[in-house]
């Protein structure tokens, strides 16, 4: 992999990732851009003991542009975009409308009135990952070699973002489909470098710590072993990876993808695990698309995200407990119908699933390529 870092006209970093060492990426950004300005801060919610990002400047971000004005396509035929090159393999760049930014680093907390409220500047970083220059493609259309390059980019960004002072967790994810809320149709994902351990990770670590106290074993190891032994909810069982529908799945079609060897983050995967991931993940994405084939509106909308161990501030002794895994789910529950987060889910965090996990796993096995 060759990595080439450059700067856009407004000072944001852009990085090309190429599979060949002889590729030259010497393309200046010719757009007359002003320097980006953000107003991000994180505020503490004392009732839920968690942080919320407030980023009002994001209201002005681009919303569903036509394909010939896509900012994630290469710059060609006289049209300038976020990527100055006329073609590319994988590109990562700083989000123009970030929820978190390193420009906020070093500023102190501030108290707000007499209530137990305080806020911090939104220190961190938000990046966009373009998986391919082909506007009409999807991640599922990539070759295993292309997926390997994306995985290399995710791994490199995890390593680099982890060194930013104040960053506590790195989250690589993809949102696909207008139903999810995606505002740009080009195949892409994002990476968030958070200045705190996320609430979801805190809960998983707390559960893992309690399991360790009760049994002396790792919760993630026991969970994976149980699913592989039972087999009813396993969708793909590879030599190095297992994809299964969790026993208490929140979403109608939800799959967790684990390496069979517990590691904490993408950096710890070995060559064999990295190679098999590329084929297993493509298989899984194609199964999701086959679930609702022929439905008006095209491919299955989904969210896919990597859960990695936090860096520094988790409770002592818990960071090593978390197992790297990918979670993939769709908000579509059946043909023509979406799973909306209504009163119980949004108001009380109590999910009500319309599809049994066993049936979901069966259907995903049946739609094998």
Residue 102's nearest CA partner among 9, 169, 58, 40 is: 40
Strands (E), 102-207: 110-111, 118-121, 125-130, 169-176, 188-194
CB 141 within 8 A of CB 176: no
The torsion defined by the Cα of 183, 302, 57 and 5, in degrees rounded to 10, comes to: -90
Q: What is the DSSP letter of 169?
A: E
Tokens of 180: 């999810």
For residue 198, count other CB atoms closer than 10 A to its CB: 17
- Phi, psi angles (nearest 5°) of residue 244: -145, 155
**Beta carbons of 57 and 38 less than 8 angstroms apart:** yes
Token reading at 308: 């990695």
Given a contact cutoff of 8 angstroms between Cβ atoms, the answer to whether 93 and 13 are in contact is yes
Strand partners, 236: 243
351: its two tokens: 């999910």
188 in active site: yes
| 152 vs 332: CA distance, rounded Å | 30
Strands 188-194 and 234-237: unpaired
**Of the listed 64, 117, 188, 325, which one is catalytic?**
188
CB half-sphere exposure, 127, CA atoms < 13 A: 28
Contact of 87 with 74, CB cutoff 8 Å: yes
Instruction: Give, as one character, the DSSP assignment of residue 343.
Output: I
Residues designated as active site: 188
């Amino acid at each position: 992999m060759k990595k080439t870092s450059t700067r856009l006209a407004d000072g944001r970093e852009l990085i090309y990732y190429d599979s060949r060492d002889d590729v030259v990426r010497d393309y200046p950004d010719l757009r007359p851009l002003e320097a980006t300005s953000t107003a991000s801060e994180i505020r503490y919610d004392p009732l839920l003991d968690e942080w919320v990002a407030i980023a009002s400047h994001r209201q002005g971000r681009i919303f569903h542009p036509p394909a010939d004005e896509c900012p994630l396509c290469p710059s060609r035929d006289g049209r300038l975009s976020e990527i100055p090159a006329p073609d590319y393999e994988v590109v990562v760049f700083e989000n123009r409308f970030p929820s978190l930014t390193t420009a906020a680093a070093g500023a102190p907390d501030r108290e707000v009135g007499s209530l137990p409220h305080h806020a911090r500047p939104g220190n961190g970083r938000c990046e966009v990952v373009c998986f391919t220059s082909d506007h009409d493609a999807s991640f599922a259309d990539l070759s295993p070699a292309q997926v390997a390059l994306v995985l290399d980019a995710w791994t490199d960004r995890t390593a680099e973002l982890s060194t930013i002072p104040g960053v506590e967790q790195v989250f690589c994810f993809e949102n696909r489909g207008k139903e999810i809320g995606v505002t740009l149709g080009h195949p892409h994902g994002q990476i968030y470098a958070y200045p705190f351990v996320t609430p979801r990770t805190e809960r998983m670590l707390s559960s893992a710590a309690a399991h360790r106290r009760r049994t002396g074993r790792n919760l993630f190891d026991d969970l994976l072993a149980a699913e592989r032994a039972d087999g009813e909810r396993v969708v793909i069982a590879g030599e190095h990876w297992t994809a299964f529908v969790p026993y208490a799945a929140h979403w109608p079609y939800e799959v967790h993808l684990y390496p069979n060897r517990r590691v904490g983050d993408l950096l710890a995967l070995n060559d064999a695990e990295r190679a098999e991931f590329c084929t297993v993940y493509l298989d899984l994405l194609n199964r999701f698309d086959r679930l609702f084939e022929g439905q008006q509106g095209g491919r299955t909308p989904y969210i896919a995200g990597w859960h990695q161990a936090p860096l520094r501030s988790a409770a002592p002794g818990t960071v090593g407990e978390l197992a790297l895994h990918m979670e993939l789910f769709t908000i579509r529950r059946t043909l023509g119908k979406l799973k909306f987060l209504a009163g119980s889910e949004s108001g009380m965090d109590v999910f009500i699933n319309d599809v049994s996990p066993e049936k979901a796993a069966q259907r995903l096995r049946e739609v094998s390529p």
